[in-house]
Structure 1
Amino acid sequence: MNSLFNEFKEIDLDKYMLRKIRFEDVKDIFDMYGDKEVMKYDPKNIIASIDKADENISMVHKGFENKWFIRWGLVNKNTGEVIGTVALHHFEFDKEKAQIGYNLKKSYWKQGIMSEVMMSTIGYLSKNTSIKELEVSIDCGNIASIKLAEKLGFILEKRIDDNVIMSRALQ
């Protein structure tokens, strides 16, 4: 699993691309993480300014360099716009396990995009990494995300405070 951090891999997903977030993506990152509706279930991570978005991108790069987490920018190939993110984090290297998370700009909701992206991403991780299990941690009120996780084959494991923890095996 450590090989995930050898070099930042881009993942081609037909209409979309998962790639390293760049400093020139700062406006797209601010538009998404600064949107209170997008961040409704993660309000402590709202980005309040372009400067804070720039700092966030630096933190994302540092997270990869230090093998803490990977956050890809989800790019619409037709426009070049970063419309979302997909992240792997909370690695348990000895168990070949990680958590996966995702965000999507509000203007792209309810179009099946994240379902398509996550199915392809899970397929990629299954074929190209040693990860054997993925988990998601979702706020109990985020019904759309819970339904997406169920559609992707995640099964409820437990509840912790206001979150559900769901998991699925890979490979």
Structure 2
Amino acid sequence: MNYNFTPFPVLETERLSLRALNLDDAKSIFGLRTNKEVNEFIDRKTPNNLSEARAFIDLISNLTANNKGIFWVIESKSNHQLIGTIGLRHFEDEENYAEIGYELDPVYQQKGFMSEAFEVVLNFGFTDLALNTIEAFTHKNNIPSIALLKKQKFVLHPERRDEGFENNRSYRLESA
């Protein structure tokens, strides 16, 4: 499948706007990606400064421009704050597959925001991109993430491994 994310697909829910990441988001992205609570179960390099956050934004923008992935900022409609991110990447044409990744500012957790974002992104993936499978990898001890995935009807695949991340577990959702 050849994907085309131009123009960028803005997704809306009752409380959220999912939009493209841009350089104006550098300070918020820096705060989110350096938050200890957000990173508790994520094994990734955290940015040391705003310049590194901007480099991450450039990387994501190029990924989207080259149709290799799509990454939304989750923005609250009530206060226009960046509260998280969600995206699809690692597309595999043969299986019509993508991996979903997500993070949410702890202030906004346990309020249903990520469930709202998940629903529109899953709908986009299965309907607009005609995906058959969406997979999430989450740390085996990340109970809130596992609960979110189960709520969204993702199924644990214990035999599947996230190469290089031995504590991650695979959860998959197949199109209806």
Shorter-normalised TM range: over 0.9
Q: 1:69 offset after TM fit, Å?
A: 1.7
Q: Is the 8 A contact 2:19 2:73 kept in 1?
A: yes
Q: Which whole-Å CA distance do the structure 2 matches of 1:156 and 1:2 have between them? A: 29
Q: Is the 8 A contact 1:39 1:45 kept in 2?
A: no
CA separation of 1:45/1:70 partners in 2, compared to 1, >3 Å: closer, same or farther?
A: farther
Q: Which whole-Å CA distance do the structure 2 matches of 1:32 and 1:89 have between them? A: 20
One-letter code of the match for 2:167? D
Q: Is the 8 A contact 2:86 2:101 kept in 1?
A: yes
What's 1:59 paired with? 59
Q: Is the 8 A contact 1:96 1:130 kept in 2?
A: yes
- Provide the secondary structure at the position in 2 that maps to 1:58: helix
Q: 1:162 offset after TM fit, Å?
A: 0.9
What percent of counterpart residues are identical? Answer: 27
Q: Is the 8 A contact 1:36 1:46 kept in 2?
A: no
Which deviates the most, 136-145 or 121-130? Answer: 121-130
Q: 1:150 offset after TM fit, Å?
A: 0.7
What's 1:164 paired with? 169
One-letter code of the match for 1:170? S
With the length of structure 2 as denominator, give the TM-score of the two structures.
Answer: 0.90
What's 1:135 paired with? 135
- Structure 1: any 5+ residue segments left out of the alignment? none
Q: Which whole-Å CA distance do the structure 2 matches of 1:43 and 1:127 have between them? A: 31
Q: Which whole-Å CA distance do the structure 2 matches of 1:127 and 1:91 have between them? A: 15
Q: 1:73 offset after TM fit, Å?
A: 0.5
One-letter code of the match for 1:165? S
Structure (1 or 2) with the greater helix fraction: 1
One-letter code of the match for 2:98? A
Q: Which whole-Å CA distance do the structure 1 matches of 2:37 and 2:6 have between them? A: 35
Q: Is the 8 A contact 2:11 2:120 kept in 1?
A: no
- Provide the secondary structure at the position in 1 that maps to 2:156: strand
CA-atom RMSD in angstroms: 1.5
Q: 1:170 offset after TM fit, Å?
A: 1.7
- Provide the secondary structure at the position in 1 that maps to 2:89: strand
Q: Which whole-Å CA distance do the structure 2 matches of 1:64 and 1:57 have between them? A: 11
What's 1:110 paired with? 110
With the length of structure 1 as denominator, give the TM-score of the two structures.
Answer: 0.92
Q: Is the 8 A contact 2:88 2:98 kept in 1?
A: yes
Q: Is the 8 A contact 2:6 2:65 kept in 1?
A: no
What's 1:72 paired with? 72
Q: Which whole-Å CA distance do the structure 1 matches of 2:69 and 2:136 have between them? A: 14
- Provide the secondary structure at the position in 2 that maps to 1:3: coil
Which aligned pairs between 1:70-109 and structure 2 lie closer than 5 A?
70-109=70-109
One-letter code of the match for 2:111? Q
